[in-house]
A and B are shown apart, each in its own frame.
Chain A
């Protein structure tokens, strides 16, 4: 693949108090690429994802997305933190799907999807509604547009959450274990929607324990352990002939 680089992280470090959650992490994701991040619990996968869209502030290093330095403005040889409004603007084009869905419970499925386009992008209610209905149809939930999240199953809520992320017309969507909170029989319907999204050319970074998805859908796989990004390469290679023995051990453990 030779398309342009959409996300690039260089030497990213993140501490929580004295605990170092990310050690000089580097990552490159190209436009249209689906990249899975795998690794044991506590290895820093969520933290890395959250640093990319500024839900966490990094301690050192730099992250670019969509050609822009994220969270900071360069002036001379210093990087100055951006304002709340500027950070909000950068987040518009980076969608995120959470493990626990985090739909707005006081809004219907449709209202969840049009909230961002109308309030943030300033789209007209009519245009946003039409686009939202299209997206809900695409995730198979056109008939649930008027339902509140509490009236939907976990799988349906997660599909609404994906539609909500797409409503912002992002250039990149981050997924943090999108199927881990779901009953086993509901996992497939969410993965189907993600397959469809990947096929449509959306750039995706997916933290997941679904090895099937990593193998069949993603282009590249990154393995993290102990706050370090151990290796990152084409999924077929990383999943079958990893360079690093720790990756091999992890794969052996999850595929048992």
Chain B
């Protein structure tokens, strides 16, 4: 209860209605913010006065080897993610194709490549020559596995194929999110199955698919660091090459962290623009 009950005269009510409104003070909020800011300041100070020589970080931030690593990281992200999305769409379409053999193969694919750790898959691809010294179609063409399975190819296959298993689930839920009436409307204007998928269903599924695929691209940027283990010259690998020589371990790890963060930040900005594009035509807003 307030100390201001409904007055008996409307004149009193009128007076009260014209008193000045004073917003709440939020004292608790301010105290809490101050504590958090203080802790953050302590953390920053720790890094500044810690055993890191920041000038060294600055010196290597734009070193040619590091820049080369950035390009290779981006290249691998694009290559593995493209393979992952292509496989993901293919597997998702197989899952809803109505062909029992294709559906079963798709299920097994997802089971295996989502089940095994990414690092392990990379190592398997990289060492594939131990199982299959040569590959090809007998009588048609053949090559030595060692020569083909470069760090780049092994990393792309390892990361892309396991990504395909995850992305197929995203694509599938995207396809299922589109109302059956949309397929029917497309068919009644004479579209074939492929036209319906390409023109009507996939663009609508995109709205559902873009946020998770965006997150997967961002995870992929970081996942490419696994390729350092099989000698692919991405950011982390190149930072390690430098610190094995000059022993500035922390400084170079800071350099690598900086670049991963920078890439992820840019990608997040791009992601939110794409999301806005695919949200066109929807009236619902997402605030609680």
**C-alpha gap A207/B80 in the complex (Å):** 52
Which of B188, B204, B280 is the one whose CB lies under 8 Å from A95? B188
B189 CB, nearest partner CB in chain A, Å = 3
B55 at the interface (CB under 8 A from A): no
Which of A9-17, A101-109, A135-143, A192-200 sits within the interface? Answer: A101-109
Chain A contacts for B268, CB-based, 8 A: none
Among A95-126, those with CB < 8 Å from B are 95-96, 98, 100, 102-108, 115-116, 119-121
Among A69-103, those with CB < 8 Å from B are 84-85, 88-89, 91-92, 94-96, 98, 100, 102-103
Which of B179, B187, B281, B283 is the one whose CB lies under 8 Å from A91? B187
- Inter-chain contact A107/B281, CB cutoff 8 Å: yes
B7 at the interface (CB under 8 A from A): no
A55 at the interface (CB under 8 A from B): yes
- Inter-chain contact A88/B192, CB cutoff 8 Å: yes
- Inter-chain contact B181/A55, CB cutoff 8 Å: no
- Inter-chain contact B189/A98, CB cutoff 8 Å: no
Of chain A, the residue at the smallest CB distance from B282 is A150
- Inter-chain contact A105/B281, CB cutoff 8 Å: yes
Q: Map CB proximity to A onto B124-146 as digits: 1 under 8 Å, 0 otherwise.
A: 00000000000000000000000
Chain B contacts for A92, CB-based, 8 A: 189-190
- Inter-chain contact A105/B188, CB cutoff 8 Å: no
B177 CB, nearest partner CB in chain A, Å = 12
Interface residues on A, range: 20 to 34
Which of B70-78, B89-97, B195-203, B226-234 sits within the interface? Answer: B195-203
Chain B contacts for A105, CB-based, 8 A: 204, 281-282
- Inter-chain contact B204/A106, CB cutoff 8 Å: yes
Chain B contacts for A98, CB-based, 8 A: 181, 184-185
Chain A contacts for B190, CB-based, 8 A: 88-89, 91-92, 116, 120-121, 168
Chain A contacts for B282, CB-based, 8 A: 105, 150
A148 at the interface (CB under 8 A from B): yes
- Inter-chain contact A150/B283, CB cutoff 8 Å: yes
Q: Map CB proximity to A onto B159-177 as digits: 1 under 8 Å, 0 otherwise.
A: 0000000000000000000
B194 CB, nearest partner CB in chain A, Å = 8
Chain B contacts for A165, CB-based, 8 A: 188-189
Among A162-187, those with CB < 8 Å from B are 164-165, 167-168
Chain A contacts for B280, CB-based, 8 A: 106, 148
- Inter-chain contact A149/B189, CB cutoff 8 Å: no
**C-alpha gap A102/B191 in the complex (Å):** 15
B179 CB, nearest partner CB in chain A, Å = 8
- Inter-chain contact A85/B192, CB cutoff 8 Å: yes
Among B271-285, those with CB < 8 Å from A are 278, 280-283
Q: 12 new A-B pairs (CB below 8 Å) besides A88-B195, A102-B185? A: A55-B187, A88-B190, A91-B188, A91-B190, A95-B188, A96-B184, A104-B204, A105-B204, A108-B281, A115-B189, A116-B189, A116-B190
The interface of chain B, by Cβ under 8 A from chain A, is 179, 181-182, 184-193, 195, 199-200, 203-204, 207, 278, 280-283
The interface of chain A, by Cβ under 8 A from chain B, is 53-55, 84-85, 88-89, 91-92, 94-96, 98, 100, 102-108, 115-116, 119-121, 148-151, 164-165, 167-168
3 closest A-B pairs by CB = A116-B189, A92-B190, A102-B181
29 pairs, A vs B, C-beta closer than 8 Å: A85-B192, A88-B190, A89-B190, A94-B188, A95-B188, A96-B184, A98-B184, A98-B185, A100-B181, A102-B179, A102-B182, A102-B184, A102-B185, A104-B186, A104-B204, A105-B204, A105-B282, A106-B280, A106-B281, A115-B189, A116-B190, A120-B190, A121-B190, A148-B280, A149-B281, A150-B281, A150-B283, A164-B189, A168-B190
